[in-house]
């Protein structure tokens, strides 16, 4: 689909990936409709969009947990621009902590925003797209929609659910012979956004961005490309691709590795944090921004993490090869794991050289 002159609705456009996506579409000449709760932040984002060839924008403050508000968002977009070509479901929140300590209502709220918010978005957008005979619905899931995280139960559930929803909708459209309407999901790895500082947190430990951290513009570009050439699913960030791939070959190993990495790298081991509801019920008071300030640490950590992944891959590979360890099954898979591990190790070496050089 052509991006120039298309009409794009983005939820969660006041910050992070959503904001970067709105900007990216504006730069490519699309009209963008920006939705989230923080009006001022949306206005600011809209002004940034307009800097590019006077792109057209519309700001619609919306809480995505309110189905009527989401319907109204679609209506406003249609009223203003006559149609909706692209709808990006992106608004999301998280609540981190030991399972028994996260309040039930917080778990419910995460599901409401991350899952029901997407459901409302899809129900508002799809009829319009079917009517038009074309359109792309992009659901931003996460690598966490493939590889779960500990202490992040609701978020994990929601991101798995989004992939389920996306795939189910695709089947439905297929069966019904709807050709021009596409439903895709985008699975980012760790992205440098304010997301981590906004998380509801009961872990007692500061939430960190788990390295390696990629810039949000990368996800924005992936979403734009998704619209140009719709695909079922795309993963953003080599580390994410790596994990998704390895999880198909050695799911148990990757599950364990992610568990350990989350505990060691996603939650601080030296900075405690008060219990708080983050931006679950009220948006944060600041004016929103694209980056979250995690990028500087990226390169330092990239090599180390890749090395770790390489080692894990190696262990998984060796484990699979040795009947005593791996149970003797899946030798075929091992052939894939080893090159992946070696690949990661090579990348790690290059990064190291670049740093020292």
Ligand X SMILES: NC(=O)c1ccc[n+]([C@@H]2O[C@H](COP(=O)([O-])OP(=O)(O)OC[C@H]3O[C@@H](n4cnc5c(N)ncnc54)[C@H](OP(=O)(O)O)[C@@H]3O)[C@@H](O)[C@H]2O)c1
Site for ligand X, rule CB under 6 A: 11-12, 14-18, 36-38, 41, 62-65, 90-93, 113, 140, 142, 188, 190-191, 193-195, 198, 279, 283
Min separation Cβ 146 and ligand X, Å? 11
Which of other proteins, ligand X, none has residue 275 at its interface (CB below 5 to 8 Å by kind)?
other proteins
Q: Say which of 151, 155, 202, 214 is annotated catalytic.
A: 155
> What distance in Å separates the CA atoms of residue 87 and residue 103, rounded to the nearest whole number?
32
3-class state of residue 222 by DSSP: helix
Select the residue whose beta carbon is closest to ligand X and give its number: 16
Helices (H) and strands (E) counted in the chain, each on its own, are 13, 11
Residue nearer to other proteins on the CB measure, 132 or 277:
277
Which of ligand X, other proteins, none has residue 145 at its interface (CB below 5 to 8 Å by kind)?
none
> What distance in Å separates the CA atoms of residue 57 and residue 59, rounded to the nearest whole number?
7
* C-alpha 12 chain-centroid distance: 12
Q: Can 118 be counted among the known catalytic residues?
A: no
Residues that bind other proteins (CB under 8 A): 97-98, 101, 202-206, 263-264, 267-275
Residue nearer to ligand X on the CB measure, 132 or 284:
284
Q: Is the omega angle on the peptide bond into residue 212 within 30 degrees of 0, that is, cis?
A: yes
Q: Residue 43 in contact with residue 58, Cβ under 8 Å?
A: no
3-class state of residue 27 by DSSP: helix
Angle at CA 19, nearest 5°, toward 123 and 289?
140
**Distance of CA 226 to CAs 10, 149, 308, Å?**
14, 26, 31
Min separation Cβ 341 and ligand X, Å? 24
Q: Residue 207 in contact with residue 96, Cβ under 8 Å?
A: yes
Min separation Cβ 314 and ligand X, Å? 26
Residue nearer to ligand X on the CB measure, 55 or 113:
113
Min separation Cβ 161 and ligand X, Å? 12
3-class state of residue 96 by DSSP: strand
Min separation Cβ 271 and other proteins, Å? 4
Min separation Cβ 262 and other proteins, Å? 10
Angle at CA 288, nearest 5°, toward 45 and 147?
105
**H or E element: which one contains 234?**
strand 233-236
Min separation Cβ 266 and other proteins, Å? 11
Which of ligand X, other proteins, none has residue 37 at its interface (CB below 5 to 8 Å by kind)?
ligand X
Residue nearer to ligand X on the CB measure, 17 or 59:
17
Which of ligand X, other proteins, none has residue 322 at its interface (CB below 5 to 8 Å by kind)?
none
CB neighbourhood size of 222 (10 A): 21
Residue nearer to ligand X on the CB measure, 58 or 140:
140
Residue nearer to other proteins on the CB measure, 64 or 207:
207
DSSP 8-state secondary structure symbol assigned to residue 297: G
3-class state of residue 33 by DSSP: strand
Token pair, residue 103, equals: 């309040």
Residue nearer to ligand X on the CB measure, 7 or 191:
191
Residues facing residue 60 across a β-bridge: 35
What are the E-state strand segments in 6-64? 7-11, 31-36, 57-61
Burial class (CB in 10 A: 0-12, 13-18, 19+), 96: buried
Active site residues: 155
């Amino acid at each position: 689909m052509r991006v120039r002159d298309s009409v794009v609705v983005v939820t969660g456009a006041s910050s992070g990936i959503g904001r970067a996506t709105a900007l990216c579409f504006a730069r490519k000449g699309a009209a963008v409709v920006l939705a989230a709760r923080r009006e001022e932040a949306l206005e600011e984002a809209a002004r940034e969009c307009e800097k590019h060839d006077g792109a057209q924008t519309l700001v619609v403050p919306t809480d995505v947990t309110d189905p009527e508000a989401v319907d109204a968002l679609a209506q406003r977009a249609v009223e203003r621009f006559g149609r909706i070509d692209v709808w990006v479901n992106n608004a999301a929140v998280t609540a981190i902590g030991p399972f028994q300590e996260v309040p039930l209502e917080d778990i419910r709220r995460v599901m409401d925003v991350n899952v029901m918010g997407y459901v409302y978005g899809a129900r508002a957008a799809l009829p319009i797209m079917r009517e038009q005979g074309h359109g792309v619905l992009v659901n931003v899931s996460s690598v966490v929609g493939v590889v779960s995280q500990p202490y992040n139960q609701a978020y994990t559930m929601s991101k798995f659910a989004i992939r389920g929803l996306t795939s189910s909708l695709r089947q439905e459209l297929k069966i019904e012979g709807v050709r021009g309407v596409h439903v895709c999901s985008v699975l980012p790895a760790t992205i440098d956004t304010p997301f981590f500082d906004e998380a509801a947190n009961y872990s007692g430990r500061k939430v960190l961005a788990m390295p390696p951290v990629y810039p949000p513009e990368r996800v924005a570009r992936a979403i734009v490309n998704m619209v140009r050439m719709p695909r079922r699913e795309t993963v953003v960030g080599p580390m994410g691709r790596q994990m998704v791939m390895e999880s198909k070959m050695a799911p148990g190993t990757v599950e364990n590795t992610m568990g350990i990495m989350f505990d060691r790298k996603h939650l601080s081991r030296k900075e405690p944090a008060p219990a708080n509801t983050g931006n679950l019920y009220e948006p944060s008071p600041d004016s929103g921004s694209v980056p979250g300030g995690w990028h500087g640490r990226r390169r330092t950590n990239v090599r180390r993490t890749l090395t770790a992944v390489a080692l894990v891959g190696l262990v998984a590979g060796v484990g699979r090869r040795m009947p005593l360890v791996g149970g003797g099954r899946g030798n075929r898979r091992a052939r894939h794991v080893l090159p992946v591990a070696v690949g990661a190790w090579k990348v790690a070496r290059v990064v190291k050289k670049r740093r020292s050089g």
